[in-house]
Every structure is written in C-alpha cells, then in structure tokens.
C-alpha cells in the first residue's frame, strides 16, 4: 500500500512538473501586445507560428548592392528582454511568463563572395581645343584585387596592386614656323562636284585634303582615284556620316575601318586619318577605337558653305579669318556645292595675295613639328603591351 501511494505521488508530481514546464500557457508581450504561448516554446516557433508578426524579411544583396532575392536576408530582428538577439540564437531562446519581445524587419544580407586578382584597365585623358587630335601616350593595364559574388558573379574593387597608366590624347592647333601656311579641306565626297574642284586645284597648282565617305567612294571609286591622281590628300570621313558618339563599340569601329577599307580598295591608298562627322569624337570614341585612328582632324575655319550663303560669303569667311596653321572646312559632297566651285578660285588667289602657302593637312602637321611621323603617315600601331580604356 505504501508503495502504491508513493507511486501515485510521483506520478502526480511528474504531471504537475510536466504541466508547469511543458504544457501551461504563458503570456509574453510582443511589440507592446499580450500574446499567449506554450511555456518554453522556442523563439523560432513563436515567430513562425505568428507569421513573424507581420514584419518584412531582409533581402539578399549582391556584392554590388543589387537585389538578388527579396526574401533572402534574415527573417526578422528580435530584441528579447532588452537584448538584441542574433538569429542563430533564436532556436535556443525559450519563452517564459512575462517575457518582452520586440520584432522588427529583417536585415539585408550580402551574398557569399571571395577575393581574386583582376586587371585594372587604364583611364583616358583627352586635351581639348585643338583641330588635330592624336594619341601621345598609350594606356597600360595595372592589377587590382576584387571581391566576386559567388551567386551574381559581380565584382567590386578592394585594392589597387599596381596602378594603370592612362591613355593620353593630345589636341593641337598647327603653328608652322618659317612662313604662313593654310590647308583647304573638303568633306562628304566624292560627288559630281569633285571633278570641277579638282580642276580648279590643278589649274591653280594648289593641294587640298579630301575627307571622303566610304559609302560615297563605294558608289564612285573613280572619284576617289581622281583625288589621288591629282596629287591631293585622301582622308576618311567615316563610312556613312553617322554621329559616332551614338554608336556602340563594334559599330563605331566598323564605321571607321570599313571606310578605310573601301578607300584603300578604290585607290590603293589607306587614309592616314579621319574627320569625325560633326567633329564629334569624345573620350569614349578614343577609348573604343583609338587603336584604329591615327588622328582625328577637325577645323579652325568653318565656311558654313552648307548654308549656301553665296560664293562671296564663302570667300570672305576664309580670307577674313585666315591665319598661319588654319584648317578650312568646305564641302565637295552632301548637297549642292556650286557655290564652293564659284568661290574656290578667289579663295586660292586671295590667300596667296596675303602670303599664304596652301598645303595638305599632312604637310601642315609636318610643318608644325609636334606631330609624330607615324601619325602623319597613318602608321600608328598600338604596342603589344598596351591596353585600351574601359569605356
């Protein structure tokens, strides 16, 4: 009887202890509100059973800060009885009567990543203000360490190991010594007006530089050959007169190289330099195509002949603004150029009366003395150890 009584007492005690520690409900305060929960419920269960009390989970971010997963961060943040808990301790935290819990939005988490060595590409420095632009220093790559995201593949810079050397593009206005020199240039040909212009140049024994369009030469290869045969200088105005800054890298390079190929096929002469349409050749274009351009040639005197202001106005635009080393912009294509033909004899005579010697752009470069011969010859080659900027 005594044994039975003792057993009964033990069972009752065990039931009471079990109820007290495992089965009874307790009240905890969550974000200021009373919430009933089973005693010693793990905090993870309390949170998940109550939908994390409506807070938002954190996001999974790439190493560059882009969102990879809207719910890839921590489920929430929790302050338990005044202490901010790490998410790893949620499972081991058991709720008790009177506990106070504050639940807030989860924290963004960055994806796993690792460090590795990478190439540091050069930047570019471009001088402004000159009519003749050419590379005076090629870029050299350096080295850097980066952190690469294992999910995104994105990288962010960590440190520079070896600095890169910037590409440098010089920009000069020719200033020949020992005389007064000027260069006449014609854009957008060849066209039906080119033969008349060449005839005047031949009669006056005056050289000029023609910036031909590849598309026009493809239609009239004899017109380009006539320029070479006349002793004038043949250069490129690109293929189809596109605004080069609007092109992507591959299209830009194709616009330049296809024109050079066409001019060379028509005449046997590969143009030494280009004139970018509208004069638009920025740091980006140099960074993307500087290895296929010996020089970009702009102008100092714009006759605005495309406005058809009359032969006298075109003549005055040249004579009134002429100076030693100037490059004059005219056109032999792209529209009606009869006024240029009428104005040209007076321009040549007037310049000579003022003591000017007419030369090609290449001759003007040589007379200046600052332009390397390989640029003048169109023989520029990027060194094997050089690197183009990343733009």
Task: Enumerate the active-site residues.
Answer: 187, 331
Residues 17-39 as b/e (b if ≥16 CB within 10 A, e otherwise) read: eeeeeeeeebebebeeeebebeb
From residue 61, alpha-carbon distances to 56, 72, 73, 151 in Å are 15, 8, 8, 10
From residue 311, alpha-carbon distances to 129, 189, 352, 357 in Å are 29, 19, 18, 22
Question: How many H-runs (helices) and E-runs (strands) does the chain carry?
Answer: 11, 21
Scanning the structure block, which residue is given the tokens 């039931």? Answer: 15
Q: Give the separation between CA 196 and CA 341, rounded to whole angstroms.
A: 7
From residue 242, alpha-carbon distances to 186, 189, 205, 213, 237 in Å are 17, 15, 33, 10, 10
Token readout for 197 is 């212009």
> Cα–chain-centroid distance for residue 191?
36
Question: At 3, is the secondary structure helix, strand, or coil?
Answer: helix
Pairing between β-strand 326-331 and β-strand 180-187 as defined by DSSP bridges: parallel
Q: Give the separation between CA 100 and CA 43, rounded to whole angstroms.
A: 12
CB distance 363 to 327 below 8 Å: no
Backbone angles phi, psi at 38, to 5 degrees: -65, 135
């Amino acid at each position: 009887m005594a044994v039975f009584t003792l057993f009964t007492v033990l069972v009752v005690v065990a039931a009471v202890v079990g109820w007290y520690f495992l089965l009874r409900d307790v009240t905890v305060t969550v974000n200021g509100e009373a919430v009933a929960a089973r005693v010693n419920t793990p905090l993870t269960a309390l949170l998940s059973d109550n939908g994390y009390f409506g807070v938002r989970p954190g996001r999974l971010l790439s190493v560059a800060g882009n969102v990879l997963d809207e719910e890839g961060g921590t489920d929430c943040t929790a302050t338990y009885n005044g202490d901010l808990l790490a998410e790893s301790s949620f499972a081991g935290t058991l709720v008790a009567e009177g506990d106070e819990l504050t639940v807030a939005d989860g924290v963004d988490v960055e994806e796993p990543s690792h460090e590795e060595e990478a190439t540091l590409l050069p930047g570019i420095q471009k001088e402004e203000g000159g009519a003749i632009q050419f590379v005076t220093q090629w870029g050299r790559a350096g080295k850097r360490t980066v952190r690469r995201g294992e999910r995104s593949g994105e990288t962010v810079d960590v440190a520079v190991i070896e600095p890169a050397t910037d590409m440098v593009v010089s920009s000069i206005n020719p200033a020949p010594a020992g005389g007064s020199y000027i260069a006449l240039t014609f854009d957008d040909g060849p066209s039906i007006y080119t033969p008349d212009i060449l005839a005047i140049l031949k009669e006056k024994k005056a050289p000029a530089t023609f910036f031909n369009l590849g598309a026009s030469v493809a239609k009239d290869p004899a017109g380009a050959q006539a320029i070479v045969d006349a002793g004038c200088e043949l250069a490129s105005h690109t293929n189809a007169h596109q605004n080069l800054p609007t092109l992507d890298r591959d299209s830009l390079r194709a616009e330049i190289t296809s024109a050079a190929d066409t001019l060379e096929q028509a005449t046997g002469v590969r143009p030494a330099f280009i004139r970018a349409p509208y004069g638009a050749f920025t740091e980006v274009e140099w960074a993307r195509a500087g290895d296929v351009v010996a020089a970009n040639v702009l102008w100092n005197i714009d006759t605005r002949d495309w406005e058809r202001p009359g032969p006298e106005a075109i003549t005055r635009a040249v004579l009134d603004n002429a100076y030693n080393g100037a490059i004059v912009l005219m056109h032999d294509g792209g529209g009606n150029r009869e006024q240029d033909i009428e104005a040209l004899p007076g321009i040549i005579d007037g310049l000579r009366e003022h003591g000017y010697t007419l030369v090609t752009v290449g001759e003007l470069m040589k007379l200046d003395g600052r332009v390397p011969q390989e640029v003048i010859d169109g023989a520029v080659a990027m060194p094997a150890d050089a690197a183009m900027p990343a733009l």
